[in-house]
Amino acid sequence: MRIMNFVCFFTFLVGNIFAQDAFNTYRLPLGDPQTKMSFCAVRSDQILETRSNQELSFEQLIERLRKNRVILIGESHTHYRHHQVQLKIINGLIDAGQKVCLALEMFTPAQNQVLDDFINGKIPEETFQMQSDYFNIWGHNYRYYQPIFQFARDNGIKMYGINIESQYARKVGRGGMKALSESELTSLPMIDTTSAEHRFYFNTTMEGMEAVAPDQFRNIYQAQCLWDAAMGNGAIKVANENPLSNVIVLAGSGHVVYGLGIARIISLRSKLSQTSVICIDVPDTLQESVMMQVKKQIDQQKTETQKKIPPVMGISDKQQSAPYTIVIRSLADFLWGVAEQEKELYPSFGFSVREKSTEGFEVSRVIPQSLAADWGIKTGDMIIAVDGKDFSDRAHLIKYLSFKDWEDTISIHIIRDENELELSFEIITP
């Protein structure tokens, strides 16, 4: 349980740094030398090939992707439109006559037999959820991935876990690779910490943490490299076992962008062809830069007889009026613009619990500014029941919470300081 707490908290921390955009990680001069010094404007529902800087149709994208053995599709774990893009690409490749298999960040090879049983129809979905231990090993709502899992089952698409057991990431994140025993080291993939660009990128996602906490940063960076090495090695293994298939890797964007994470491991340790797709969130209204605002002011000051100032950077007036997000072209081989989401499709409650004891589920962490924090749930609270229901173990409790929706009501029965409390709320954005 402590293992899962660390992994979930670390994932939450990095995800929120991305969201806050304090350090813009999508505009860094990293990766492909031919494109890392050039920006592009991505609009919603637009697919951009970054090497040529040309817009593609969906059919053109599929035609380019199918030529690669490994296709990395990054995601923000709780952005449902990112998962819609992933599913559309999987479906598009199938429709184009390709054999595909999925290499998944949220599972490890230990779950592969359960994944096979699910795909082959030997077990129902509910059994798959429990036997794969999804609700303990992955900290994000099952429903984001459910359409992909169901599509894979319905179409006989093999799924593979390519991550490492979370206990190793926990140990390395706290104490570095030196915290592992000799036997653990021999059972894990060799990490690569030699890329200055990768280190700089990760340091940026952590808001320059290395400057103020170098030892802690080193350990967390090594954990990130361990994840990348495991998933890179895992993707290679899946590709070798399925020589006639496109291997589609579904992983967090931080492991995919700039070709510095999983992709670098694949390049160093195999000759497999590969490509990458990243979703770019685009606001629903035009957010003009200061430069564009100044241009408008200048235009307004011009008389009708004066020559009209040409569009900035060769962008047409119609294009300028459409919302866009500017990113560096080296971010990925293909960029797909999606509408920015105002809030997560499914509520995240923002607290972790330990496995059930005789007293109940002890709250081990409450994330600041979360629903749980807003409701007044505290570390050390003992959860006895939710909505009057008792749960046999942590996985069943998390599953129940995962199927709660915004504007639902929830009642949490807890013990705090030997006093029983009933906390009832409507699930709304804090």
Domain co-membership, 266 together with 358: no
**Which residues, in sequence order, are CB contacts of 313 under 8 Å at separation 6+?**
none
- Average pLDDT in the 394-403 region? 98
Contact (CB, 8 A) for 251 and 74: yes
**Per residue in 116-142, pLDDT tens?**
999 999 999 999 999 999 999 998 999
Rounded distance between C-alpha atoms, residue 135 and residue 146, angstroms: 13
Q: How would residue 3 be classed by pLDDT, with cut points 50, 70 and 90?
A: very low
206: nearest Cα among 229, 223, 194: 223
Q: Residue 215 corresponds to which tokens in the numbers above?
A: 């030892």
95 touches 271 (CB < 8 A): no
Domain termination residue (choose one: 237, 262, 282): 282
Task: Give the number of residues written for the chain.
Answer: 430
Q: What are the residues facing 415 on neighbouring strands?
A: 382, 420
The whole-angstrom separation of Cα 403 and Cα 318 is 42
Give the per-residue pLDDT at 313: 47
At 148, which CATH number? 3.40.50.11550
DSSP 389: B
End residue of a domain, out of 258, 282, 306:
282
Question: Rounded to an integer, what distance in angstroms lies between the CA atom of residue 269 and that of residue 266?
Answer: 5
Residue type, 281: D
- β-bridge pairing 334-339 and 47-49: antiparallel
Q: What is the CATH number of the domain that holds 371?
A: 2.30.42.10
Q: Please tell me whether residues 242 and 390 are part of one structural domain.
A: no
Mean pLDDT over each residue of the chain, to the nearest integer: 91
* The pLDDT of residue 43: 97
Assess whether 41 and 167 both reside in one domain. Answer: yes
Range of the domain at 407: 351-426
> Is residue 296 in a domain?
no
pLDDT digits 0-9 by tens, 32-69 = 999 999 999 999 999 999 999 999 999 999 999 999 99
Residue 151 lies in a domain: yes
Tokens 């774990």 correspond to what residue? 77
- Domain termination site, one of 282, 300, 315: 282
Asked if residue 339 is part of any domain, the answer here is no
Dump pLDDT digits (tens) for 145-165: 999 999 999 999 999 999 999
Give which of 155, 46, 161, 159 is closest to 91, Cα–Cα. Answer: 155
Measured in degrees and rounded to the nearest 5, phi and psi for residue 344 equal: -60, 145
User: How many domains does the structure of the chain reveal?
Assistant: 2
Please indicate, yes or no, whether residues 358 and 242 belong to a single structural domain of this protein.
no
- Cβ atoms 262, 256 nearer than 8 A: yes
Note the pLDDT tens digit of each residue in 335-369: 999 999 999 999 999 999 999 999 999 999 999 99
Residues 137 and 49 in one domain: yes
Nearest to 74 by CA among 290, 333, 345: 333
Q: Considering the domain boundaries, does residue 328 fall inside one?
A: no
